[in-house]
Chains A and B, each alone.
Chain A
Amino acid sequence: MSALAVLDRRQFLALGASVGFGLAFRWGDILAKANAPAARFEPNAFISIDNDGFVTLTVHRSEMGQGIRTTIAMILAEELDADWGRIRVRQAVGDARYGDQNTVGDLSLLLGWDPLRTAAATGRAMLIGAAARLWSVPLAEIETRDSVASHAASGKRIGYGDLAALAMREDIPSDAQAKSPSSYRLIGTARSSIDLDALTRGGIKYGIDVRRERMLYATVVRAPVVGGRIRSFDDSAARKTTGYFAAFPLEGAFRRLGETRNGVAIVGADTWSCLVARRAISIDWDLGSLVAESDESLGRRLDEALAKPGAVYRSAGDVDEARSKASRVMKRRYSTPFLVHAPLEPPNCTADVRPDRCEVWAPTQDPQTARAEIASELGLPIASVTVNVTFIGGAFGRKSLCDFVLEAVRISRQVQRPVKLLWTREDDIRDGFYKSRTLQELEAGIDHEGRVTFWRHHTAFATWNTSTEDPASHELSAGDMSDGVTRFPYAIPNLRFEGTHVEMPVRRSWMRGISSFFHSFATNSFIDELARETGRDPIDMRLSWLGPLGLQQALPTGAAATYWLDTARIAATIARVREISQWNTPLSAGRGRGFAVERLSGTVVATVAEITLEEDGFRVDRIFSVADCGIVINPDGARAQIEGGTIFALSCCLYGEITLKDGSVVQDNFASYPIARMHDAPVIVADLIQSDRAPTGLGEPPVPPVAPAVANAVAAAGGKRLADMPFYSRTRRGLA
Chain B
Amino acid sequence: MSTIRLNVNGTTHRLDIPEQMPLLWALRDHLGLMGTKYGCGIGACGACTVHIAGRAVRSCLLPVGNIGEQHITTIEGLSSANQHPVQRAWREHRVPQCGYCQSGQIMTAAALLAETPEPTREDIRTAMSGNLCRCGTYSRIEAAVASAAELARNSDA
User: How distant is the Cα of A648 from the Cα of B97 in the complex, in angstroms?
Assistant: 13
Give the residue name and chain of the B residue nearest to A677 (CB). Answer: B129
Q: Report if A404 contacts B (CB, 8 A).
A: no
Pick from A10, A393, A426: contact of B37, CB below 8 A: A393
A6 and B78 CA atoms in complex are apart in Å by: 17
A676 touches B98 (CB 8 A): no
B138 touches A270 (CB 8 A): no
Range class of the B interface residue count: 35 or more
Which residues of A lie under 8 Å from residue B22 when comparing CB positions? Answer: 272
Interface contact A678-B138, CB-CB below 8 Å: yes
Number of interface residues of A (CB under 8 A): 65
**Cβ A670 vs Cβ B40 within 8 A:** yes
Residues in B neighbouring A645, C-beta threshold 8 A:
136
Residues A208 and B35 in contact in the complex (CB < 8 Å), given A271-B25, A272-B29, A679-B126 = no
Residues of B contacting A211 in the complex (Cβ-Cβ under 8 angstroms): 32, 34
Q: How far is the CB of A702 from chain B (nearest CB, A)?
A: 10
Residues on the B chain within 8 Å of A67, using CB: 97
Complex Cα distance, B29 from A211, in Å, reads 9
Judged by a CB distance under 8 angstroms, whether B39 is at the interface is yes
> Pick the contact of A678 from B29, B42, B129, B135 — CB < 8 Å?
B129
Contacts A10-B81, A67-B97, A272-B18; A202 near B76 (Cβ below 8 A): yes
Q: A683: CB under 8 A from chain B?
A: yes
A193 touches B21 (CB 8 A): no
Q: Which B10-45 residues have C-beta < 8 A from chain A?
A: 17-18, 20-22, 25, 28-30, 32, 34-42, 44-45
Contacts of B130 on A, CB cut-off 8 Å?
A: 677
Query: Is there contact, CB below 8 Å, between B35 and A270?
Result: no
A63→B47 CA distance, assembly (Å) = 19
Q: Which of A510-527 contact B (CB under 8 A)?
A: none
Contact check: which of A204, A426, A640, A670 meets B132 at CB < 8 Å?
A670
A343 and B82 within 8 A (CB):
no
Does A477 sit at the interface, judged by CB under 8 A? no
Question: Interface digits, B89-113 against A, CB 8 Å rule (1 contact, 0 not)?
Answer: 0110011111111110010000000
Contact with B along A187-198 (1 / 0, CB 8 A): 000001101110
Contact status B35-A394, CB under 8 Å: no
Residues from chain B with Cβ under 8 Å of A272 in the complex:
17-18, 21-22, 25, 29
Q: Does B125 lie within 8 Å of A394, measured CB to CB?
A: no
Instruction: List chain A residues, Cβ under 8 A from B137.
Output: 640, 643-644
Residues in chain B near residue A681, CB distance under 8 A: 136, 138-139, 142
Residues of chain B with a CB closer than 8 A to A669's CB: 40-42, 44
Q: Are B74's CB and A392's CB within 8 A?
A: no
Contact of A66 among B78, B97, B100 (CB under 8 A): B97
Q: A65-B135, A644-B135, A648-B136 are known contacts. Are A204 and B99 too (CB-CB below 8 A)? A: yes
Instruction: Tell whether, in the assembled complex, residue B29 and residue A195 are in contact, meaning their CB atoms are under 8 Å apart.
Output: no
Q: Which of B28, B39, B78, B141 has its CB near the most chain A CB atoms (within 10 A)?
A: B39
- Contact A394–B94 (Cβ < 8 Å): no
The reply to whether the CB of A201 lies closer than 8 angstroms to some CB of chain B is yes
Q: Does A344 contact B (CB under 8 A)?
A: yes
Q: Select from chain B the residue with minimum beta-carbon distance to A271.
A: B25
B50: min CB distance to chain A, Å: 11
- Binary flags per residue of B129-149, CB closer than 8 Å to A gives 1, else 0: 111111111111110000000
Contact B98 A217 (CB under 8 A): no
- Kindly state whether residue A21 has any CB partner on chain B within 8 Å: no
Whether B136 and A392, one on each chain, are in contact in the complex, defined by CB atoms closer than 8 angstroms, is no
Chain A, Cβ-Cβ closest to B18: A242
Q: In the complex, what residues of A have CB within 8 A of residue B74's CB? A: 202
B87 within 8 A of A: yes
Report the minimum CB–CB distance from B136 to chain A (whole Å): 3
Contact flag A677-B132 (CB < 8 Å), given A196-B94, A201-B82? yes
Cβ of A392 and Cβ of B98 under 8 Å apart?
yes
A675 within 8 A of B: yes
Select one of B36, B81, B134 contacting A394, CB under 8 A.
B134
Docked Cα-Cα span, A647 to B137, in Å, equals: 8
B37 near A345 with CB under 8 A, answer yes
Query: How does the 8 Å CB contact mask read for A178-222 relative to B, with 1 for contact and 0 for none?
Result: 000000000000001101110111111110110100000100000
A199-B76 CB under 8 A given contacts A272-B18, A343-B134, A425-B39: no
Chain A positions near chain B (C-beta within 8 angstroms): 6, 10, 63-67, 192-193, 195-197, 199-206, 208-209, 211, 217, 242, 270-272, 275-276, 342-346, 391-396, 422, 424-426, 636, 640, 643-648, 651, 669-671, 675-679, 681, 683-684
Known: A206-B37, A677-B130. 17 other contacts (CB 8 A): A65-B96, A65-B97, A202-B74, A271-B38, A345-B37, A345-B98, A346-B39, A395-B98, A425-B40, A644-B137, A646-B136, A648-B135, A648-B136, A669-B40, A670-B42, A671-B42, A683-B139
A–B pairs, 5, beta carbons within 8 Å: A196-B91, A205-B34, A272-B22, A344-B134, A422-B38
